[in-house]
Each structure stands twice: as C-alpha cells, then as structure tokens.
Amino acid sequence: MSDAPKPPAIAPVGRGLAAGGVLDAESPGEPVTATPATVPADGAGRGATELAEIVVLDYGGQYSQLIARRVRDCGVFSELLPHNVPLEEIAARKPRGIILSGGPASVYAEGAPPLEPGLLELGVPVMGICYGMQLLVHELGGRVEQAEVGEFGRSDLHVSDGGRLLDGLPREQTCWMSHRDTVFEPPPGFTALASSSASPVAAIEHRGRGIYGIQFHPEVVHTPYGQEILTRFLNEICGCEPTWSAASIAEDQIRRIREQVGSGKVICGLSGGVDSSVAALLVHRAVGDQLTCVFVDHGLMRKDEGEQVVSTFRDTFKVPLVAVDAESRFLEKLKGVTDPEAKRKAIGAEFIRVFEEEAARLADAEDGGPGGDRPSGERPIKDRPARFLVQGTLYSDVIESGGGTGAATIKSHHNVGGLPEDLQFELVEPLRALFKDEVRAVGAELGLPERLVWRQPFPGPGLAIRIVGGEATKQRLDVLREADHILQDEIRKAGLYRELWQSFCVLPDVRTVGVQGDERTYGYVVVIRAVTSDDAMTADWARLPYDLLEAIASRMINEIREVNRVVLDITSKPPGTIEWE
C-alpha cells in the first residue's frame, strides 16, 4: 500500500520526446536492451515517424502523473494511462518501456488493481514504483506483507548491489517512502539491490527479463537521486533519446491540426491567457486565415485585459479577430447564481452560444450577408464554414476533471466539464497532452511575448468564481477587479511575479465591521491568495514579505471604498485547491 500522505514539493520541469523503438529479448541473464524502430503515431503528442513513448500505468496514486512529468524532464514523451487499459492498446503504441505507478491499495485487498500478466511478455522493460513494485513481487512469487509500522516520508536507503538500475549511485542516500505493505523477499531470479529503514527489500531487478522495481518515489525532490534513476531506466535500459522538445511539440501539433481541420474553418475562443493564446497561435500557424479568433469580453476579466488581448493578436500577430462585448448577457445569466458549479456551467454554456452566433455571423458575411433559405445558425454543422472550436485544455485539466484513472472530479473545468451536451463544434485541443510548463515553452518557441508567455493561470469563468458564496454582480466584480489590479501591481513591482504560480484575490460574500476615520464601516473582506507550484497538481502558499503584504492591504483599503479588511490564505494544495471555487 502506498501514497497515503502528500508527497513533498516537486522539482522544476524539463521537456522530452522519445525516439520510437521495440525491444529485443536476449538470452536469459543478459540485459534486455532497446533497438530503434519506426512506429506509427498512435499516442497523443507522437509524431509521424519514429516516435514512441514510455507508458505510465496508473494504479490509483493521486500523484501518478508526476511520474509522467519526470519522464518528460528527461526529454522522453510519456503518457499516463489507466492500469486496466487493454493490453492490445499498449502493444499498439510500441512503447520503449512501461512504468507501474504507486497506489493506495494493498496487493492482498479485495478488488486491488491487478497486474496484467501480458505486460511482462511485451518484450519491453518494466519498472514498478511503490505499489507497482509490490504488485510485481507478489505476482512473480516474492513475499509482500504488511509491516508492523508504515514508512512514510524521508527514509535512509542502503544500496547493497547497484545492479544495472542503481549502479554508480552512493551506497548511502535518502529517499521518500509512502507505504505500509513491505517487500520481505524478492521473486525467484531477482536481485535485491537496496534496503531502507523499514523495508528489507527496497529495490529489485531481473536484468534478463528487463523487470525492475523500487519501493521509494523517484518523482519527488526528497529522493535526491530519483531523477538520475529515472534517467538510467529511460536512457540505458529503454534506449530512449532525449528528443521531446518545444520545437518538436509545435511541429507535431501543427501537423495534427492540419490533418484534423483540412480546409475547414476554425473558431477560437481567445481569453488572453497563455493556454488559449498558445493554442490559437498553433492553429494559426497550421491553417492561417482559416482561423478566426473570437474574444468574448464577458465582463469577468482582470482590469484592462480586454484591450491588451485585442492589441496583441489583432495588431501584433495579425490573427483574424472578432471582439464581442457580451458583459450584459453574462451578468444576466449569473443573476441569482451562487453555486460555483452552476456558475461554471452557466458561463461555459453562454460562451458556446456566443461562439455559435459569431460563427453564424461569419458564415453570413462570407455569403454576402444574411439571407438565403435559412439562417446559417440553422445549417447542419458539416455545412458551416466554422465547424471547429479550439480549446486550450491541458493535461492537468483532464486529470482534475476526472479524466485520470480513479480520479474524483474535483471541479468541472471550464475546458472540460462545463461544455453543453449539444455542442455544435468539433473540438481542436492541441495542448491536451501537455503540462503548463510545456505550454509556456511552446509559446516561447512560437514567439509569444514574454509577458504573455508567463501570464499566470486565470480561470475561464473569470472573476465570477472568485466571488465566493454570492452572486457575481457588476458592483462586486468591480471591487474584485480593483483589488486584483493592486495585488498584481505590487507583486510585479516587488519582482515576484515570475516566482509565483498564481496570485489573485478572492471576494467572499461576507462583510465585516471596521473603523475608518471616526466612522464605523461595514465593508467587504478581500482574501489574498498566492501560491508556488510547478504544475498546479500540488501547491504551497507563498511566503510573501510582510512589508509587501502591508503595502497591498494599505492600498486596497485606502483606494477601494467598499473594502475594510484584507486577509491572507495560507492553505496548501492539498488539502485545499488553488482556487476557492
């Protein structure tokens, strides 16, 4: 059993894309090695020729995706798949190797995720991490038992036999453990490589069969040699080359967009955030003026952001852009709505309706104006000039929206769970397989301005979901917008903007008593939320300097008449989420 407590902070992220290949199983006792081969482009993010991947199978660990990220750090493409994905699908991908993730189950528990025996017959190296190692040991005849005490957190690791996986690493090192079940004996034919404070067998390998296992978590920074171990597995054992890069991502996605769209017209809902901006520019590079961006000013954006978006894309990048002032209709849809999920879905649905109307107008314009037998909005989708909709969905969006194995829906993401069932467009999602840092790298590769590339994440539903517990009225939005402007201004002046994953304000539907001058006030509370993170899957609250906090609070209270109290959110993720709603 593994992954009980929160893993520690994670390391900065790199990029990667593996060259394709298959494995030749050599004679028993000799290591399985990789030989290059050309493979088809079956997986997301894979190119047209000689591009394969490392498959990470998810056995329920909440942070299994971090393993996939660390593989990409090594310049090798990887994707997280359900543990019960059909063996035929895995084989069709022709991966260079397979990693079994951790998970919360015990190998002896009823309903515990099992090991598909055929995985070990694919002729590719397999490495189990935590529960993944226990599963291999249990299925192959070793001994796994529940220990008297669990092993959670930092632990001392003693390497007794480096073997192939740990060769050259220090004999004594630290690692991060998260398990209660323990391996006491390796399976027949396997070599025990290491032990830890509470694990008699903490690493194993069978070089001839190409099967490896480690009880600890190499994907977290509290395992100092974790990335080196992953690199050893990828490069020396799986034979992968570090060719996954921002340039290769852009090239591959441009090709895929052209294949999907053909000569069709594309419409993009441009928000000005880095995700939609990179997605839009990728599509524009792929199909040029077949793309029309629609910027919907829903009245829920940050101060002056609308003008910045229009200027950047229409004037600088010469992307066809239609700007729509829709503030009044969004506010009308939000009247009386206080539930966060209802807000998200109402905003998402209205966005789609606006897109459809703009697509119809664009079609009418191409036809020489309104007219004909029926409005273009009533045309079958296949006959409409704009039949594709670009979305900046990221890999983390999919996971948080329940797209990962066994993942509960934390929230309906604006790019995933908030779309109406009667969607009238075919989605184009060029970023769906990418993490945020990879999106930024692609944006820089495409020439986006630094200020836009490094813009902090902003939710699709905008400031409406940062008004917590109450209705998103025009007056409350204006208060929140001014508070957010002050926060961003002070953080930028302090030189901290790039160091933070997100910094924003929350306006609860709460008022408190205050005193300003000789008068009693009854004003809003503004919550400052600032976090550090690598990918939004885990986050820590930012330790902002006291003098900066004082300056921010003083400006908010002095410059915003309706505010009389400022507080700081010091909750990490988990247990909290970054956004309040």
Q: Is residue 11 part of a domain?
A: no
219 is catalytic: yes
217 is catalytic: yes
Q: Are residues 110 and 182 in the same domain?
A: yes
Among 20-29, 97-106, 508-517, the range scoring the smallest mean pLDDT is 20-29
Among 425, 453, 481, the domain boundary falls at: 453
Of 213, 126, 201, 220, the C-alpha closest to 157 is 201
Contacts made by residues 504-507, CB under 8 angstroms, sequence distance 24+: 504/456, 504/458, 504/466, 504/529, 504/530, 505/466, 505/480, 505/529, 506/466, 506/468, 506/569, 506/580, 507/466, 507/467, 507/468, 507/476, 507/479, 507/480, 507/483
Q: 290-346: per-residue pLDDT in tens?
A: 998 988 889 999 998 888 888 888 888 899 998 889 999 999 999 999 999 999 999
Q: Are residues 387 and 494 in the same domain?
A: no
Q: Are residues 288 and 307 in the same domain?
A: yes
Q: Are residues 65 and 141 in the same domain?
A: yes
Percent of the chain at pLDDT above 70?
A: 82
CATH number for position 125 = 3.40.50.880
Q: Are residues 180 and 273 in the same domain?
A: no
> Stretch 399-410: mean pLDDT, rounded?
44
Q: Is residue 124 part of a domain?
A: yes
Q: Is residue 339 part of a domain?
A: yes
Q: 516-549: per-residue pLDDT in tens?
A: 777 888 889 999 999 998 767 788 999 999 999 9
Q: 28-61: per-residue pLDDT in tens?
A: 334 444 433 322 233 334 443 456 689 999 998 8
Q: Are residues 250 and 143 in the same domain?
A: no
Burial label for 158, CB within 10 Å (0-12, 13-18, 19+), is middle
- For residue 181, give Cα distances in angstroms to 3, 4, 5, 74, 139: 11, 12, 15, 30, 15
The enclosing H or E element of 276 equals helix 274-287
Q: Is residue 458 part of a domain?
A: no
Burial label for 378, CB within 10 Å (0-12, 13-18, 19+), is exposed
Q: Where are the beta strands (DSSP E) in 186-247?
A: 191-196, 203-206, 211-214
Higher pLDDT, 21 or 298: 298
- Categorize the per-residue pLDDT at 368 as very low, low, confident or very high, splitting at 50, 70 and 90: low
Q: Are residues 271 and 393 in the same domain?
A: yes
Query: CB of 482 within 8 A of CB of 558?
Result: no
CATH number for position 446 = 3.40.50.620
Q: Is residue 575 part of a domain?
A: no
Percent of the chain at pLDDT above 90?
A: 45
Q: Are residues 217 and 136 in the same domain?
A: yes
* Radius of gyration of the chain, Cα coordinates, nearest whole angstrom: 26
356 is catalytic: no
Domain limits at 61? 21-237
CATH number for position 531 = 3.30.300.10
Among 132-141, 145-154, 265-274, the range scoring the smallest mean pLDDT is 145-154
- Total domains present in the chain: 3
Burial label for 535, CB within 10 Å (0-12, 13-18, 19+), is buried
Higher pLDDT, 415 or 154: 154
Q: Are residues 529 and 445 in the same domain?
A: no
- Categorize the per-residue pLDDT at 101 as very low, low, confident or very high, splitting at 50, 70 and 90: very high
Q: 195-252: per-residue pLDDT in tens?
A: 998 889 999 999 999 999 998 899 887 888 889 999 999 999 999 988 888 888 888 8
Write down the catalytic residue from 217, 284, 414, 485.
217
Query: CB of 243 within 8 A of CB of 77?
Result: no
Report the pLDDT value the prediction gives residue 423, as an integer from 0 to 100: 60
Q: Is residue 14 part of a domain?
A: no
Among 237, 258, 280, the domain boundary falls at: 237
Q: Are residues 329 and 444 in the same domain?
A: yes
Report the pLDDT value the prediction gives residue 379, as an integer from 0 to 100: 42
Q: 157-196: per-residue pLDDT in tens?
A: 999 999 999 999 999 999 988 887 888 999 999 999 999 9
Q: Is residue 464 part of a domain?
A: no
Write down the catalytic residue from 130, 238, 268, 293.
130
Q: 440-482: per-residue pLDDT in tens?
A: 999 998 888 887 888 888 888 999 999 999 999 999 999 999 9
Q: Are residues 261 and 180 in the same domain?
A: no
Among 210, 237, 264, the domain boundary falls at: 237
Write down the catalytic residue from 219, 241, 305, 482.
219
Read off the pTM. Answer: 0.68
Q: Is residue 188 part of a domain?
A: yes
Report the pLDDT value the prediction gives residue 329, as an integer from 0 to 100: 94
Q: Are residues 403 and 483 in the same domain?
A: no
